[in-house]
Structure 1
Amino acid sequence: MADRADTDAGFDVDVAVVGGGPAGCSAGVFTARYGLETVVFDRGSSSLRRCACLENYLGFPCGIDAKRFLKLAQTHAREAGCRIREELVDSVVALAGNGETEGTADGEGFRLEPQGGDPVTARFVIAATKYDGSYLHGLDDDEALFVTEEGADGGVERFDRAYPDDDGRTPVAGLYVAGPLAGSGDQAIIAAGHGATVARTLLRDLRREEGYWDRFARQYDWRRYTKNRDEEWADPERWVELFDETAPEDRDAENVRRLAESYAAERDESYLEAETAARRTERGQRRLAEALDDEVLLEAVDDEAIRERAAELEGGNAQSDADLIDD
């Protein structure tokens, strides 16, 4: 996607994700691929790390061990552009109106205090931990953020999963919640899907700030073949016409044109020639192969070669039988 690293130079990063599991990595992939500088903090306890074998994540027909899956998830986040910091976040403090960060807008931004490393300022925070939301204390009225549940050892405080809406937004501007902490459920595939949903919510909100409206505010991270492109929409002026037709009345023509041209450029970047798509496919396969044990990979290659040779021989025998019948 287009480089958007200068979204707000007053912060260390654009997006800070707290939690490096399926929800956090998935959210980070979407924000980083959009061009937002993204850091993912991963140091808390993880139920997935105690999973013996992850058997219901789509795309792994016979399952995958959780350790390998998490490594792939974080590798994917890094490939997308995220930085992974193996640090526990102690607190997230709103910068609203305190003047602590020069250049930030009043009412925007957060400072994250890791347990051991240097603090980080971010315009947006995505809370994607599972068990613990205590680092969010003080961002709002704690009675709104937390609820007390009765347990075996008495009252237990936990983050109120009803605090964010279904798309992860919260009453605190710039704060989003993803995954089990938002009540999405504990299954890895559901948490990853919700992480992506929340990231797209953040991007939609950001695009609305930039001036986009309606469907143009929704961002799709999607790749298409150039051969399937409708040439009518390859012309940026066609998008300018559409934007002119649908723009709210308070938008001036110059602003509408700028947004239309930017949107047309985004669409143009989403199309790939077949050769480029093939190269990316091969690269993806090689990266997956790197995650496999060499011994298992070699055995699988040998087994596949044996199956292919057997199929060739079977086909040849069938052809010979057909020839005999014709004779």
Structure 2
Amino acid sequence: MADAGHSEEANTTTETATGPEAAAFDYDVAIVGGGPTGCSAGLFTGRYGLDTVVFDRGRSSLQRCAYLENYLGFPGGIDIETFYGLIHDHVEEAGCDLVSDLVEAVEPAGDDAAATANAAGPGFAVTTQSGETVTARRVVAAARYGGDFLEPLGDDEMFVTYEYDGETRTKFDRDYADIEGRTPIDGLYVAAPVSEVNVQAIMSAGQGARVGRSVITDHRLERGYPEDLARHWDWIRPEAELADEAAARDDWRERFDSRVPDDCDRSEERLRELREADVERQREMYVSDETVETRAERGRERLAARLGFDAGSDSDSDSDAE
């Protein structure tokens, strides 16, 4: 059984009812910023099944922190190096590519590099400091410090001017994106910098998750899901709750159909494909007790490996023996 969140539907190439098959890109999603914000967004898009790359810019506000003591789940706090190692392990486990390089420019993909993203159509070219370029259908800006790499997109509304020491300077407008990260440019999302959100690591991670879900929602809309069915929830439940799987599947189909608007312009065939993909995704949310235990053990082993000790060791016994 596939892991919950890894939807096979996400990677199919069936033509949607809203337009022709999308052009091929290197990635579905490119995320600029490998801190809590970007990794949290990548965790959601990667687990859903979207091909995602996370660029770790190497400069993060969190790296200026001496020690992290207010991130839930670490009662004794955690050092920054170990925390970064854990969040990077997590996005890679979710299927994301992690690239340690600085993104210098995000431009419209296509032949006319001077055109704006809206004029050139969907898709972006992401170029790094090392000179490598990849294309992506969607880009998430998740770097708190600055947004200069977005200047090639040509939208002056991204930036505001201010006076400093007698000089007029320009900076990225922290209110450019809406609360869910969407911007006026199709396919561009901003998770950081955002006003009053990126001031604590745990808040930044929450905003990254919000934006990651926005990306998934828009992907599902593009695939043809009606608006009321486009949002995605990433969770797992015990298989024991499925007393009658056949009945549950029928209920999910009925619930799907009840939320399709009367004026929906999707074909019956396409709605049936989407409904069955959605039913299968919901089925994958339920896992056996054995699977839960296997995943729990793997989780402990991965954490132990990062912390540098054996997950099967008895720390109390070791202490007594000293």
TM-score category by the smaller chain?
A: 0.7 to 0.9
How much does 1:183 deviate?
4.8
Superposed CA offset, 1:98-147 (max 9, x none): 399xxxx96110001111132011000000001120010132432x1001
Residue 37 of structure 2 corresponds to residue 32 of structure 1: no
Q: Highest Rg: 1 or 2?
A: 1
1:135 aligns with 2:152: no
Aligned 8 A contact 1:240 1:257 in 2: no
| Post-superposition offset of 1:281 | 0.5
Q: 1:272 aligns with which of 270, 287, 306?
A: 287
For the 8 Å contact 2:175–2:194, the answer to whether it is kept is no
CA shift for structure 1 position 2: 2.2
Structure 2: distance between partners of 1:157 and 1:233: 59
Q: Does 1:75 align with 2:102?
A: no
Distance 1:145 1:119 in 2: 23
Which residue number in structure 1 is paired with residue 278 of structure 2? 263
Deviation per CA, 1:170-215, whole angstroms, max 9, x where unpaired? 0000000113346522211111110010010011111112222244
Alignment map for 1:1-327 (pairs within 5 Å): 1-3=6-8, 4-5=10-11, 8=22, 10-95=24-109, 98=112, 107-142=121-156, 144-152=157-165, 154-181=167-194, 183-229=196-242, 231=244, 234-249=247-262, 250=264, 251-294=266-309, 301-302=315-316
Alignment RMSD, CA only?
2.7
Contact kept in structure 2, 1:132 and 1:158, CA below 8 Å: yes
Structure 2 residues without counterparts, runs of 5 or longer = 1-5, 14-21
**What is the rounded CA distance, in whole Å, between the counterparts of 2:179 and 2:275 in structure 1?**
30
8 Å CA contact 2:32–2:55 kept in 1: the answer is: yes
> Could you say if the C-alpha distance between residues 165 and 304 of structure 1 is closer, same or farther in structure 2, counting changes exceeding 3 Å?
farther
* Alpha-carbon distance in 2 for matches of 1:88, 1:286: 31
Aligned CA distance change for structure 1 residues 303 and 150 (closer, same or farther; 3 Å): farther
How far apart, CA to CA, are the structure 2 residues paired with 1:160 and 1:266?
A: 38
Aligned equivalent of 2:16: none
**Cα gap change, 1:229/1:305 in structure 2, threshold over 3 Å: closer, same or farther?**
farther
SS of 1:98's partner is: coil
Q: Deviation per CA, 1:291-315, whole angstroms, max 9, x where unpaired?
A: 22449x97x8127976xxxxxxxxx
Number of positions where the alignment pairs a residue of Structure 1 with one of Structure 2: 300
Residue pair 2:159, 2:173 contacting (<8 A) in 1 also = yes
What is the deviation of 1:270? 0.9
SS at 1:138 equivalent: helix
| TM-score, reference length from structure 1 | 0.84
SS in 1 for 2:182: coil
Residue 258 of structure 1 and its aligned partner are, at CA, apart by 1.6
Distance in 1, matches of 2:49 and 2:103, equals: 24
- Rounded to whole Å, the distance in 1 between the matches of 2:204 and 2:242 is 33
Structure 1 regions of 5+ residues with no counterpart? 307-327
Change (3 A) 1:11 1:267: same
Change (3 A) 1:252 1:243: farther
> Take 1:47 and 1:242, find their aligned partners in 2: how far apart are those partners?
44
Question: Which structure features the higher share of helix residues?
Answer: 1
Instruction: State the distance in 2 between where 1:32 and 1:24 align.
Output: 12
Partner of 1:324: none
TM-score normalized by the length of structure 2? 0.85
Q: CA deviation at 1:43?
A: 2.4
Change beyond 3 A, Cα 1:234–1:305: farther
- Could you tell me the percent identity over the aligned residues? 46
How far is 1:5 from its partner?
Answer: 3.7
